[in-house]
Structure 1
Amino acid sequence: MAGARRVTACDEGRWWAVGEQRIVRRTPSWSALVGAVLFYCLSFTPSLLPRPWLLQATAGAITAFFGYGLGAFFGLVARRCGLLPSPAVRRAGWWLLAGVGGGAVVAITAWSVRWQGDARRAVGLDPRIGWWQWTLVLPVALLLGALLVLAARAVRLGTRTLRRILAPAVPGWAAAAGAAALAAVLVVGFVQGFLLRGLLGLAERGAALTDRSTGPGIVRPELPTLSGSPDSYESWDSLGAKGRDFVGQAPTAARISGFTGRPAKDPVRAYVGLRSGEGIGLTDPERVLQERARRAVAELDRAGGFQRKVLVVLGTTGSGWVNERIAQPPEYLYDGDSAEVAFQYSYLPSWISFLTEGKASEAGRALYDAVHAHWSQLPADSRPRLLVAGESLGSYAVERAFPGGVDQLTAETGGALLVGPTPDNPLRKTITDGRAPGSPVWRPVYQDGRTVRFAQQTSDFAIPDAPWPQPRVVYLQNGSDPVVWWQPALIWSRPAWLNGQRAHDVPPTMRWYPVVTFWQVTCDLAASEAVPEGHGHRYGLMPVEAWSRIVPPDGWTPQDTERLVAYLREQP
């Protein structure tokens, strides 16, 4: 074609050159496809939990996309260095990729059924997998991967188009740098402004509507010991869906007596929702939290919570949820002579609650500080034993209330239960980093177990075999819980929980691969509740075992704990 010129290796070496006719490569490079095939195959290797076929397809697509990018980068570097194979070698390489790479993709997809069966067996699931579902993994992964590559190419096309526009006015290197910077700003703005803020706002509006609903079987309480009752300062509607669940599922004195055979009291449960009273009219976030905390203390005081034997300050998840299996054991242990208090700080559901860690931190501190301030003014010989507890993001909220660390926690409270902690929990991080040499990261031994102990099974409470005086702090964390172990560092570094002795439910065949393992564990988050109790992010009735060791009442025996576990397991 007249006027056209052949693009040479020298032209490709000038990365700011704008005279070439081709802006984006029509076909993927050989190195990019090699990277995609390699990373796709690695995505099928075992991780913490078994993955449903759609999650596996998603993991395969995302990891293959990153492998594609890395392969393209190394191919570009090779070309810049003049490492260009001959046409014959290139043809052989393409045939080899088509044969070996294509065969590997099909073979690994089929072979992974066995790996997934082993992973399912490790968590107590039926190891059999429907072949008709697994055959969908490859086509769905190809579709998702192609969409990701098209999006990346669109960004690349836009960047090069900007470079061509700027080239007549500025030097080539400046045009390239300016185009890249402008494209980066546009992409980041799109991600933050639309994908994060827009979708987060949409999710919050949807969650706010859900928050107005009431769960099946939940009715407004009549007992004055419960928020939302006719005697309460907090209206039934203001509690929100999770708050209504919390007070609506409180055991009665009769139900507790039915288990213990002794007279019991109706437990106190105080809760303040996002729509609570005067907090609606405030705009400053800190004042809003302080107002809700003040109302929570007032509600707790009204219901007689400060006259009970034990008082539990509960950290909630993003939507305000409290796990009944954490809330109920102290009520049975102490014949209903207990009080519990919590409040809601967000509408967001748990699966995106990591975006509200800032709110959780402030909310946990506000509630605890308000309760502790009132409690500390009471006579020491008559006030209740102060306890704290939380699960997942709720445990993070609890820990942030104690900037002085474990020393402050044990000095101010009579014990703590922290279930399924996040990787950002500050106290847990300090404890884990300071564990005794040789103790595994998934069950660290800290200061000879004098205060803090970690457990996944009941036998773990006896580790180490050393005195365990009051007050006691218990962490429940499953070895296969991705909520506990997920962190960005998985992209570039091997986690300590894969070194040495592993937790009993972590597959022995799991290996760490850069980038790949990060996306595997990220996908495991979505499946963390779809496994039997004792695995993933499901802790079952282990909180009963924990509470019976943190604050055992006089005369309580291991047999009583077994009976309570069996009793609560039968409850709806």
Structure 2
Amino acid sequence: MRIIGPSLMEWPSRVRTLFPVALTGLGATTVVGPPLVGWSVLRLARSVSAAESDRARASGVGVASVAVASLVAGTVVARRRFLTNTANAARDLDPGFREPPVSPLVSTGPGSLVDPRGVGREGARYVGTATTGDDVRFVTGAEPIADPIRVFVGLDAGASVQQRVDLAMAELRRTGAFDRSHLVIQAPAGTGYANATPVDVVELLSRGDCASVAVGYGLLPSFLSLNRVDLARRTQQALLEAITAECDERSARPRLLLFGESLGAKVQQAALAVGVADLDRFGIDAALWVGTPGGVDYDDVHRAFDHVAVTLDRPAQIEQVLRERPTPRVWFLEHDGDPVVRFRSDLAHTRPTWLSPAQGRGVPPDMQWRIGVTWAQVLVDTLFATDVSPGDFRSHGHDYRA
């Protein structure tokens, strides 16, 4: 019998060859094996991937460095140095975004209260790519109502959650964001990355009559930011409470739309722990959560929003789900074969529903559940979940561009 069969993602050939050896050596076919094998298979996959892929060499330096610093050298000093260097790199702006935007309607632009040094690389990208009225006219053929508003406050813009949220609120008031028809509230990823694509769509469809806001909580990649989830949750809650209080004082209010991708989705869900009651409390009109990471609370989150939510694997299913629920308030976009979504601790000892006979299009038909083994297998899958090629839109793994 094979120790390993098909997996959710493609692995480098050497990883697939050596994986059974690592499993056998560490007893991963027993329930107690997964915690130990996790370290082994991750280090194996990371090192092999870095050796065989130029892209992995570029994006996997942090992963390999953490492995060397914390697992091999075992020195706290080396780990801290690595994290500091990684955070400093996230503060370094791309050459094309070192000049502040010319629009006064985006953070760091003329009249902005946000220092350009306080948004970081991802924040500068976000505010520097805002849609313009000319873009609206070119794409839609319609006359723009206004230029869109984009507000971004990074980790370095304030010493505390409250300071950063207060600054974001001041920017929203300065730009007239509460007079727009729509306000998008986005929870960024660990690095501060805020996905501009869904915001672009709202900006175009509203003919510019919208605003968006994102408040950062870190500068490290999401897999190194798991210890900041509580800080991120408090940031989202404080922002939602401040926006709700502002809207309650106005006779007219914008429609409030939530967006979070990957860790950002998990952060927003954590800020809405009571589920639909919190949507009502904060006056949220709709939410889109993309690629929510799995975990022991995954089922609880879905149950909390069940009677107002739809879950789909790809946009092609929208027409079908709208027939079943015409007015969903919450949208979960989750590829059925996304290992980031599917990975959870109880996978080690419990067969998941997504490996049932009715498994989805992204799950290999021959993939089977084996105690301990599948847990380790999907753990390795997470390393390659975003291993995509530019311009190749496949709607697969943790890649939601298509």
TM-score range, shorter chain: 0.7 to 0.9
Residue 272 in 1 paired to residue 153 in 2?
A: yes
Map 1:101-500 → 2, pairs under 5 A: 194=74, 201-218=80-97, 219-264=99-144, 265-276=146-157, 279-280=158-159, 288-379=160-251, 382-410=252-280, 412-424=283-295, 429-430=299-300, 432-433=302-303, 446-447=306-307, 451-461=308-318, 462-463=320-321, 465-469=323-327, 472-500=329-357
SS of 1:465's equivalent in the other structure is helix
What is the alpha-carbon distance in structure 2 between the residues aligned to residue 434 and residue 59 of structure 1? 38
SS of 2:91's equivalent in the other structure is coil
CA positional deviation for 1:502: 0.7
Which residue in 1 is equivalent to 2:26? Answer: 66
SS of 2:96's equivalent in the other structure is coil
What is the alpha-carbon distance in structure 1 between the residues aligned to residue 172 and residue 3 of structure 2? 53
Q: 1:257 to 1:398 in 2, by over 3 A?
A: same
SS of 1:242's equivalent in the other structure is helix
The answer to whether the Cα contact below 8 Å between 1:320 and 1:345 also exists between their aligned partners in 2 is: yes
Residue 537 in 1 paired to residue 398 in 2?
A: yes
* CA offsets 1:381-413 (integer angstroms, 9 cap, x no match): x21111111001101111122222123315621
Q: Give the counterpart letter for 2:253 in structure 1.
A: R
Kindly tell me the number of residue pairs found equivalent between the two proteins: 358
SS of 2:83's equivalent in the other structure is helix
RMSD value, Cα: 2.8
Q: 1:511 to 1:425 in 2, by over 3 A?
A: closer
What is the alpha-carbon distance in structure 2 between the residues aligned to residue 433 and residue 370 of structure 1? 27
What is the alpha-carbon distance in structure 2 between the residues aligned to residue 70 and residue 499 of structure 1? 22
SS of 1:474's equivalent in the other structure is strand
The answer to whether the Cα contact below 8 Å between 1:62 and 1:519 also exists between their aligned partners in 2 is: no
| Runs of 5+ unmatched residues, structure 1 | 1-37, 74-132, 134-189, 281-287, 436-445, 542-572
Q: Give the counterpart letter for 1:251 in structure 2.
A: T
Q: 1:70 to 1:315 in 2, by over 3 A?
A: closer
Which residue in 1 is equivalent to 2:376? Answer: 519
SS of 1:270's equivalent in the other structure is strand
- Greater radius of gyration (CA): 1
Identity %: 30
CA positional deviation for 1:58: 6.1
What is the alpha-carbon distance in structure 2 between the residues aligned to residue 212 and residue 262 of structure 1? 38
What is the alpha-carbon distance in structure 2 between the residues aligned to residue 295 and residue 434 of structure 1? 31
Q: Give the counterpart letter for 1:420 in structure 2.
A: G
The answer to whether the Cα contact below 8 Å between 1:360 and 1:393 also exists between their aligned partners in 2 is: no
Which residue in 1 is equivalent to 2:38? Answer: none
The answer to whether the Cα contact below 8 Å between 2:314 and 2:334 also exists between their aligned partners in 1 is: no
What is the alpha-carbon distance in structure 2 between the residues aligned to residue 351 and residue 492 of structure 1? 24
Which residue in 1 is equivalent to 2:49? Answer: none
* CA offsets 1:135-165 (integer angstroms, 9 cap, x no match): xxxxxxxxxxxxxxxxxxxxxxxxxxxxxxx
Q: Give the counterpart letter for 2:184 in structure 1.
A: V
The answer to whether the Cα contact below 8 Å between 1:203 and 1:348 also exists between their aligned partners in 2 is: no
CA positional deviation for 1:304: 1.3
| Runs of 5+ unmatched residues, structure 2 | 34-51, 53-69
What is the alpha-carbon distance in structure 1 between the residues aligned to residue 236 and residue 380 of structure 2? 28
TM-score, normalised on structure 2? Answer: 0.81
CA positional deviation for 1:46: 1.0
* CA offsets 1:260-297 (integer angstroms, 9 cap, x no match): 12222211110111111xx23xxxxxxx1111111111
Of structures 1 and 2, the one scoring higher in RCO (CA 8 A, sep 6+) is: 2
TM-score, normalised on structure 1? Answer: 0.58
What is the alpha-carbon distance in structure 1 between the residues aligned to residue 18 and residue 212 of structure 2? 41
The answer to whether the Cα contact below 8 Å between 1:360 and 1:396 also exists between their aligned partners in 2 is: no
